[in-house]
Structure 1
């Protein structure tokens, strides 16, 4: 394990991660279309390494029953929706998301096995290492933070998927899906197409927002 991790994680999310809000705004509509296209939209979902809980709150506002898991970062936006063992043991989760998490894992195989204990399907983002690139000059290394300790080629992600008998799909060298489902690459890519998103949203509306229900649960009152 890298000796500098304790120092690197003195703050769970670094000051250089100025794209955190933009990233969540960008991924939420993609995620809702992925769920409505390939999964049971009324099931439970988990955001692994969910940081401040922003994505969980955004997805619950959209009607999807999301929960957060993160042992390192304070939950600011979805405090009452952290995963516990009782919830985990009820019926598992339809899909696990892990955005900008894999590059932080000192032991990816061990951590992947923990993820798979929650769900056999994992939708995640991490930038694939460009072939023939100079690693020390690759922007995604971000040596100033010391947090990106695992970098992946397409081959290494394919290996991880095959190790656990999962299919692997990739879009734009950033978004990845490990799944037992057999889908076409074209079907996965359509999830990211804005015109397709409009069609899916028109044909398959979101579940009712959980905003009011969550407020009632937390406050013990009814709006």
Structure 2
């Protein structure tokens, strides 16, 4: 693909408040339009620089095109995009580590706030002091949930790095990375189950414990592989565009 044409298209699409799937579709459509214009101009004098300049003029300025495309976006999608960014805290150019840490802390904080309200309501309104006894369990759940959010984002990035995208589509190039990421996700969830079972069973274990560990391990690995496989096409295509350095 022509990098100059890609940058021209990306100046229009990048600021738009919509999901990555929608952005990728718009990028493909706009790229094909600008490429056709460029080829028409190039046929006139075979001067690539001049042809690109004329094609950009015919294509239009980025700001008016942004306004036109923004107006065509459904309001619900714009609200969903804003809500998603607020919940996850993800921003353009943010590193994976910073995003994972921020999302993990935010998730744990929200759960802690929710559990605090529950415990406070039960203790002071219902006058049931026994409820305070479950506070350590709630704290463990919030901490483990936040930790798993952090871990799965990091492992998800490792899983995505196993894929590459080219003209043929998304290809799995480094199977071992995907396998390590999936097994790591399974161990993360299984360890969380182990901690919760140990905290609530008072040291009494039965034959069902092995199944309680195997089930989350296997189901997490399978779900992880499915989700990463589905995300690979959208994520890698988006990164090919969003990582372009615009002047």
Q: TM-score range by the shorter chain?
A: under 0.3
| Larger strand percent | 1
Give me the TM-score of the superposition, normalised by structure 2: 0.21
| Structure with bigger RCO (C-alpha 8 Å, 6+ apart) | 1
Give me the TM-score of the superposition, normalised by structure 1: 0.23
Which protein is bigger by CA-based radius of gyration?
A: 2
